Structure 1
Amino acid sequence: MTDGTSALPGSGRLRRPGAARKARIDRLATVGGRSGAPGAPGTPAATDEDTADVGVSLLRDAWRRLRVTPVFWVGAVIIALFVLLAVVAPWIAPHDPGAQLLIGQTSRARNSIAPPQAGYPLGGDTFGRDLFSRLILGSRQTLLVGVFATLIGLAGGLVLGVLAGAFGGWADTVVMRIVDVMLSIPSLLLAISIAVLFTNPNLTSVIIAVSVVQIPVFARLLRGQMLAQRGSDHVLAARALGVRRAPIVFRHMLPNSLSPVIVQATLVVATSIIDAAALSFLGLGSQDTASPEWGQMLGEAQDRIDSHPGLAFWPAGCIIVVALGFTLLGESLREALDPKNRR
């Protein structure tokens, strides 16, 4: 090539070589003009400097940093084990979580909880039910609440964020004022206010209450990303070419605004699990004792916390560990996908 560019081996793409590649071409020209494929006799091996300027996609660069980050792997392992436990819970739970199998060893006396024994590694709860089986089955209910509440909150936030960020004007003003009012109320208080509207609290009411709290978080984040995209060069070029608004929004602006929203969704799962446990602890969650939930188990153990702290320790520990796993994963993804951290 005479214009300062060279072809990549095995492809038709052109690229501008660095100083090392220029020196390599000069050496090849000196020894006879041989420019064979890499690895051919007489062709110097490619060095790190030769490939230093090769472009790398954002996702590939993020994975390159994630795979050497211990925090990411800790969070990923915790979440993987939690999801696996929730999926296989009905098959590995040794007993029916609602059956009062240890009722003969339990009464309403202060120190009558069935102790750990053969077949019951954690003993029984206040009603003579197997605590270990209830912990295992509780993981499924907790996962359902966390995932579905996050998905519903994400969907609602996407709708509001696109309306505010893509169109602006009065739509942006109306949506953001609603979001500001919702964000002015503490999240747990807002969730409690929504949950008490249901006459028969159940798992669905908990999911709705928690998901509504997350909608303004996603809406404000997406709106900010969409506003940044509105002034970008590729959007301005599309407008100059006469592309309609809908293709610009859904093909150019929205796809480039989703990365931080997806990362935020990972963090929101943790807060959704904690909020759902708080609602169940206050008696605003599912009342079905045959389908246990970790927050519900905490509420049942509160009158025995002084004499039998293990009844509260195990479900509280599970909530803390799972929330920590999602938090570690989300923070790792945020750092890896941040363009400022690219090298």
Structure 2
Amino acid sequence: MNLISPKKTRIDTLAASVAEVEVAEAGTVRDTGGESLLAGAWRRLRRNPIFLIGLTLTALFVLLAIISPWLAPWDPAAQPLIDKVERQSNPVPGPEPGFPLGGDNRGRDLLSRVLVGSQQTLVVGVLATLIGLAGGLVLGTLAGAFGGWVDALVMRIVDVMLSIPGLLLAFSLAALAARPSQWTVIIAIAVVQIPIFSRLLRGSMLAQRHSDHVLAARALGVRPASIVLRHMLPNSLGPVIVQSTLVVATSIIDAAALSFLGLGNPDDRRPEWGQMLGASQQYLNEHPHLAFWPAGCIIVVALGFTLMGESLREALDPKSRR
């Protein structure tokens, strides 16, 4: 029968850990250095297989989008298979030597269009996220820095925007444009993301207003603008930056949805994955591969950004550290 209490065992463990502290000389403890927040987060992320998978998928997507014009065997607007397009019995050419994925209903190489379409998808997702982030930073900074009636006014506007489903709001904004284009999709998606960033930044800045370093700066007579821009805002950007990685995935999916509904760039000479999905719906029963490749690419890319963003959030969250 073990008569040693758990409390005594814990005390012995703590004493053993204290004994392991490196001592340079009698009465002096050797400085082993500390660990910053980013260094600790990176140490945890390097051992996280989910983050490594997401980072690999995201890096491959970005690399593919950059070098896609050189990888594509054909011009995405060229029609090398137009002579094989038979309007009645076989409107979509199948795979053949030189065309591993076949062609579309206009005789264009499907592989080239999928490769080049990654570039347009990346541009839409990143620009929509950056514009939404910029707008959210402005509103969130105003609400978190001033408080009072400014905070109440900004948050009521944000609440109204959040009360409307995101895709419905983006669809309504894109439909207001006289001529659909790639920029209408970018602006519509960016507006939807603004309240997400602004609410998140506002919460972080309100937590910073009563922190010790902000109170010390006020006691020393530092100007309010310097306190906001040099102390509160930089220390509040961590959750916002992590959220931006998740928003890129959402932006790519929303952009594909708007392009699928015909609200994207009408010029199909510059392919985009959502646009390719919309063009393939009339051939979905007989030629499902026209939709399979762009849809699969959208799913894989969104998964990569989501895995990476969730891993970053867990690594930077103090409650999830072990």
Of the three residues 244, 254, 273, the one matched with 1:294 is: 273
Q: Indicate the residue corresponding to 2:100 in structure 1.
A: 121
Letter in 1 for 2:235: N
Please list the CA deviations of residues 213-235 of structure 1 after superposition, one character each: whole Å capped at 9, or x if unmatched. Answer: 00000000000000000111111
Unaligned runs of 5+ in 1: 1-17, 30-34, 36-45
Corresponding position of 1:59: 38
TM-score (norm 1): 0.85
1:163-178 aligned within 5 A: 163-178=142-157
Q: Which amino acid aligns with 2:254?
A: D
| Larger helix fraction of residues | 2
Q: What amino acid is the match of 2:61?
A: F
Aligned length: 306
Q: 1:85-139 deviations in whole A, cap 9, x for unaligned?
A: 1111111111111122212221333643101011111001121111000000000
Corresponding position of 1:275:
254
Q: Assess if the C-alpha contact under 8 Å between 1:75 and 1:329 holds in 2.
A: yes
Could you list the per-position Cα deviations for residues 249-307 of structure 1 after superposition, in whole angstroms to 9, with x for gaps in the alignment? 01110011000000000000000000000000000000111100000000000011111
CA distance in 2, matches of 1:110, 1:262: 52
2:234 is equivalent to residue 236 of structure 1: no
Alignment check: 8 A CA contact 1:115 1:122 kept: yes
Aligned to 1:25: 25
**Per-residue deviation, 1:21:** 4.2
Q: How does 1:176-191 map to 2 (within 5 A)?
A: 176-191=155-170
What secondary structure, in the 3-state scheme, does the structure 1 residue paired with 2:25 have?
helix
Map 1:234-273 to 2 at 5 A: 234-273=213-252
Cα distance between partner residues in 2 of 1:311 and 1:21: 64
In structure 2, C-alpha distance between the alignment counterparts of 1:184 and 1:249, rounded to whole Å? 29
1:83-102 equivalences under 5 Å are 83-102=62-81
| Structure 1 counterpart of 2:232, one-letter code | M
Hey, what does 2:301 align to over in structure 1? 322
Q: What amino acid is aligned across from residue 167 of structure 1 in structure 2?
A: F
2:53 paired residue number: 74
CA contact (8 A) 1:226 1:257 kept: yes
Structure 1 residue 198 displacement after superposition: 1.0
Q: Does 1:197 align with 2:192?
A: no
2:57, 2:22 → 1: CA distance? 49
Gaps of at least 5 residues in structure 2 are: 1-17
User: Which aligned pairs between 1:136-175 and structure 2 lie closer than 5 A?
Assistant: 136-175=115-154
Query: Residue type matched to 1:276 in 2?
Result: A
Check conservation: 1:145, 1:207, Cα contact below 8 A: yes
Supply the distance in 2 between the matched residues of 1:226 and 1:141 (Cα, whole angstroms): 35
CA distance in 2, matches of 1:83, 1:322: 10
The structure with more radius of gyration = 1
